[in-house]
Amino acid sequence: MTLPYGKKLLEHFKNPHNAGIIKDADAKATEGSPACGDIVTLYLKVDEKTHKIKDIKFESYGCASNIATASVITDLVKGKTIEEAKAITWKKAADELGGLPPIKMHCSVLAVDTLRSAILNYEEIHGLIKDKKPTSRNKILDRIKHVMNPIRGEDIVKTGIVQDVIFEKGKVTVLLNLEEDNQFAANISEEIIEQLQSIWDIKKINVKFTV
């Protein structure tokens, strides 16, 4: 087999674990969109006293890496507390599958982001969230770190694609060390917008190519 996937990933793809829905879920989240060709939905059942994840199921619209990372995430968090689950990183999920090709790392990020959104959803429903804090530049940078450089399989901040981030009066400008006609320019720009658009005090996002 010369496909760019490991054995474990293909096993999860062929026979995903915990696929489906939980009808009376305590929390639920969907991340991604048909525009990106990647969607993951996670359903959680959480023990109210111990905050342990009793059950988790996923649905996926996406490629093999998308299905496999969602599947492996469900294995990783079942039985864990929500705090333990929050600590799981996209790197951990990818490693668990025996690695992912660099261009597919964003799938692992999507699975982990969906998990965190589902947990946030649980915390909101159960009054575990404190007041909303105003967004800082560092928080924006943290979010942008969820966008992958598809060549390197690492995030765009670490790999130097992000030149600067300016945040003033609800308007974010992200400057990228990238040519506008770079093969990944459109994709990276869309992903940045997707990461930032849900932050409550961000009203406008502008991605600029400086090269």
Partner 1 sequence: MDYIYLDNATITKPHKEVIEKIMTIIENKYALATSQFSHTMGLESKEVYEEARNIIAHSIGAESKNIVFTSGSTESNNLAIKGYARAKKRGNHLITTSVSERSVLNSMKTLKKEGFDITVLAVDSSGRIKPEELEKVINENTILISFELANHEVGTIENYRSIVNIAKKHNIAVHIDASYGYLEIPINVNELYVDLITLTAHRIHGPSGIGALYIKKRTGIKKMMDGGFNEMNLRAGNESIPLAVGFGRAVELFDREMDVLHTAKLKKLLIRQLYDKIKHISINGDPDKSLNNLLNVTFHKVEGESVALHFDMEGIEVITGSACFSKSLEPSYVLMALYNDHERAHGSITFSFSRYNTRNEILKTADVAKIIVDKLMKISPLKEEK
Q: How many residues bind partner 1 (CB under 8 A)?
A: 35
Residue numbers 51-70 binding partner 1 by CB under 8 A: 58-67
63 is catalytic: no
Whichever of 46 and 70 has its CB closer to partner 1, that residue is: 70
Other C-beta atoms closer than 10 Å to the C-beta of 129 total 11
* Given 35, 48, 131, 134, the residue binding partner 1 (CB under 8 A): 35
The catalytically annotated residue of 107, 109, 118, 140 is 107
- 3-state secondary structure string, the chain? CCCCCCHHHHHHHHCCCCECCCCCCCEEEEEEECCCCEEEEEEEEECCCCCEEEEEEEEEECCHHHHHHHHHHHHHHCCCEHHHHHCCCHHHHHHHCCCCCHHHHHHHHHHHHHHHHHHHHHHHHCCCCCCCCCCCHHHHHHHHCCCEECCCCEECCCCCCEEEEEEECCEEEEEECCCCCCCCHHHHHHHHHHHHCCCCCCCEEEEEECC
Minimum separation from the CB atom of position 65 to partner 1 (A): 8
**Residue 14 found at the interface with partner 1 (CB under 8 A):** yes
For residue 58, the one-letter residue type is: F
Whichever of 81 and 187 has its CB closer to partner 1, that residue is: 187
Q: How far apart are CA 196 and CA 211, in angstroms?
A: 23
Residue numbers 69-108 binding partner 1 by CB under 8 A: 103-104, 106
Binding track, positions 140-179, relative to partner 1; x by CB under 8 A: ----------x-----------------------------
Residue 87, both tokens: 């600590």
* Given 81, 121, 177, 187, the residue binding partner 1 (CB under 8 A): 187
Segment near partner 1 (CB under 8 A), from 11-19, 84-92, 117-125, 159-167? 11-19
**Residue 19 found at the interface with partner 1 (CB under 8 A):** yes
Minimum separation from the CB atom of position 51 to partner 1 (A): 26
**Residue 9 found at the interface with partner 1 (CB under 8 A):** no
User: Contact 155/148 with Cβ under 8 angstroms?
Assistant: yes
Which residues of this protein are in contact with partner 1, per CB under 8 A?
A: 3, 13-14, 16, 19-20, 30, 33-41, 58-67, 103-104, 106, 150, 181, 183-184, 186-187
